[in-house]
Amino acid sequence: MNNFDAIVIGSGFGGSMAAKKLVDAGLRVLMLERGDWVHRSIEENWGAKGPIELSDFYDKSSMLYVPVGGNKPTMGMYACVGGPSVFYGGVSFRFREQDFEKNEQIEGKDAQGWPLAYNDIEKYYSQAEAILNISGETGIDPTEPYRSTPLPQHAPTLAKISQKVKASAQKLGMHPFSLPLAINYEDTNRNKCINCKTCDTFACAISAKNDLATTLIPQLIAKGMQLYCNMVVTKLNYKNGRLTSVDCISKSDKKRYTFHAEKFILAAGALGTPHLLLSSGLQHFNPGGQVVGHYLMRHMNSIVFGIFPGTADKEGRFHKQLAILDYYFGHPDFPNLNKLGSLQQMPTPPASIVENELKGIVGKVLSPAVKLLSGLLAIVEDQPQYNNGLAIDANNKDIFGLPRPIINHSYSIRDITAMKILTKEGKRIMKGAGALSHYVHDIRTFSHAVGTVRMGFDKRTSALDENCQFRGIENLYVTDGSVMPTSAALNPSLTIAANALRVGELITK
């Protein structure tokens, strides 16, 4: 059968959460995923090739060309059933109320903010937290938004290195609190977290991480959703104001397929979604089509590694556990900046990642020294800039016939200024925790990429309306991170999930 009520492209947070609403409403749903299921075993997931960029799920079949802003001039994409949730560290923040409001310092003089308020999405945050069984603690963070329901799980006990970081931050007058994490600590019907060091950037070998491939997608399949993995969507077919079908190529058998539906939900990620829209020429039917691919944001991210006199994490356990948001809305010494960002604890990196980043003898010599490191990730809300984005080169095509995606991204002076303030505070905290010196590592990946097909009220500056419907095409919706007008300064996964639940519910009405 090639005809469905709805086709969902992508199985990450945007695709799976939207699909849940459609499946629960009784619709016949087909989900198309470019990647494959991640097989779970200690050898495969926690071995030297466990990190995402060393695994088979770092897809290089359609390379991203990144002349400006990448950690390499060509980069692959993450592709697997469950999307980035399988390899992320589980951090699941709600954006703060003010993140949805217009802010001229972030957006510029024509600031519009989001076309919805925090209260419009709050109940969907609660639903997403329940689906992902989020752990954490409330009542400590000074920026904490209103919530109608408690977190499903309590926060786990802190590692000893986390206790040192917490004590240092408190001594400096800050309010550290446990990160909200999509990890199973309390459900006895499943494997519980064993606090291993192979979590962030690794798939969980024992399925204790509450990723979508573990907690949600199998349930949707059991309810009747069809999932075709290893399926590359090559074109969205348009006729008379509507999409009629999608063309695909199977990575498994190399055959071509066409699937028809009444409604289409595009959730291929903030890079994959504009790539497919532009490749299909759909921007020409949208009054705001000139912004498709533009306003790419990915946060400005840097890790402040403290260099300790001996092994930083003597317990050898997972310690991505703390967040510090005291400077989220500014710093008393810099009153002209009303938003800065967040600090989140980062664990000691695996030696295999260091060897991958630092090739040859340098990596092999330095990799044993990673045991001396533990750090804080500084996340700055980067400004949405029109010239940051993804374009296509139709003269160069990949093995599937898709045009080459070209990405350019650079940070603004404001972004850089905010990062200097945050990293300075991060160094103070790590020094108080016992670090003798510091090393700041800038991150140039696109793991937090958002904003390339953004929603808004103004048709001139946004491609989606407030319901994430693609303007000019009545049956096409977008539900991944590309919809975001601004990036806030927090991990986007839970907000993508909550908005996808909201849009999925609207589609079924």
Q: Concatenated DSSP letters for 109-163?
A: TT----SS-HHHHHHHHHHHHHHHT-EE--S--TTPPP-SS--SEEPPPPPHHHH
Q: Which of 2-11, 40-49, 395-404, 494-503 has the lowest mean pLDDT?
A: 40-49
Are the C-beta atoms of 267 and 500 separated by less than 8 Å? yes
> Could you tell me the two tokens for 190?
């499943």
For the segment 67-96, what is each residue's pLDDT rounded down to a tens digit? 999 888 999 989 999 999 999 999 999 999
Distances (CA, A) of 170 to 176, 235, 335: 7, 53, 22
The pLDDT, as a whole number, for residue 70 is: 87
| Res 363 pLDDT > 60 | no
What value does the mean pLDDT take over residues 36-41?
A: 96
Are the C-beta atoms of 276 and 418 separated by less than 8 Å? no
The pLDDT, as a whole number, for residue 48 is: 79
The pLDDT, as a whole number, for residue 367 is: 63
Compute CA 87 distance to the chain's CA centroid, rounded to the nearest angstrom.
10
Are the C-beta atoms of 91 and 180 separated by less than 8 Å? yes
CATH superfamily of 3-508: FAD/NAD(P)-binding domain (3.50.50.60)
For the segment 43-62, what is each residue's pLDDT rounded down to a tens digit? 889 887 888 888 889 988 88
What is the chain's alpha carbon radius of gyration, rounded to the nearest angstrom? 22
> Could you tell me the two tokens for 411?
């940070």
| Res 214 pLDDT > 90 | yes
DSSP string for 284-312 = GGSTTGGGTT-S-B--EEEEEEEE-SS-S
Q: What angle do helix axes 493-508 and 118-132 make, rounded to 10 degrees? A: 100
**Of 230, 193, 197, 232, residue with least CA distance to 214:** 193
**Of 379, 304, 308, residue with least CA distance to 341:** 379
| Res 362 pLDDT > 70 | no
Are the C-beta atoms of 273 and 291 separated by less than 8 Å? no
pTM of the model: 0.96
Residue type, 176: P
**Of 395, 410, 389, 397, residue with least CA distance to 290:** 389
For the segment 317-356, what is each residue's pLDDT rounded down to a tens digit? 989 999 999 999 999 999 999 999 999 999 876 666 666 5
Kindly state the helix (H) or strand (E) to which residue 61 belongs, with its residue range.
Answer: strand 58-68
Virtual torsion, Cα 179, 183, 187, 188, nearest 10 deg: -130
Where along the chain do its domains lie? Answer: 3-508
Q: Which of 304-313, 381-390, 404-413 has the lowest mean pLDDT?
A: 304-313
Catalogue the E-assigned strands of 207-299: 226-228, 231-239, 242-250, 256-266
The 10 Å CB-count burial string (b at 16+, else e) for 300-314 is bbbbbbbbbeeebbe
- Bridge-partner residues for 183, per DSSP? 209
pLDDT band at residue 371 using 50, 70 and 90 as cut-offs: confident
N residues, the chain:
509
> Could you tell me the two tokens for 213?
């491939």
User: Counting beta carbons within 10 angstroms of the beta carbon of residue 21, is it exposed (0 to 12), middle (13 to 18) or buried (19 or more)?
Assistant: buried
Are the C-beta atoms of 90 and 133 separated by less than 8 Å? no
The percentage of residues in the chain with a pLDDT greater than 90, rounded to a whole number, is: 86
| Strand 389-397 with 403-408, pairing | antiparallel
**Of 325, 365, 367, residue with least CA distance to 345:** 325
What letter does residue 337 receive in the DSSP assignment? Answer: -
> Could you tell me the two tokens for 64?
């991203």
Three-state DSSP at 208 gives coil
User: Counting beta carbons within 10 angstroms of the beta carbon of residue 47, is it exposed (0 to 12), middle (13 to 18) or buried (19 or more)?
Assistant: middle
In the block, residue with structure tokens 């003898």: 361
Q: If you average pLDDT over every residue of the chain, what do you get?
A: 94
| Res 410 pLDDT > 90 | yes
What value does the mean pLDDT take over residues 159-174?
A: 97
> Could you tell me the two tokens for 150?
């408690």
CA distance 288 to 301: 30
CA distance 427 to 328: 17
Catalogue the E-assigned strands of 226-381: 226-228, 231-239, 242-250, 256-266, 300-307, 322-324, 341-346, 373-380
Are the C-beta atoms of 462 and 295 separated by less than 8 Å? no
Q: Which of 303-312, 364-373, 431-440, 498-507 has the lowest mean pLDDT?
A: 364-373
What value does the mean pLDDT take over residues 193-211?
A: 94
The pLDDT, as a whole number, for residue 358 is: 56
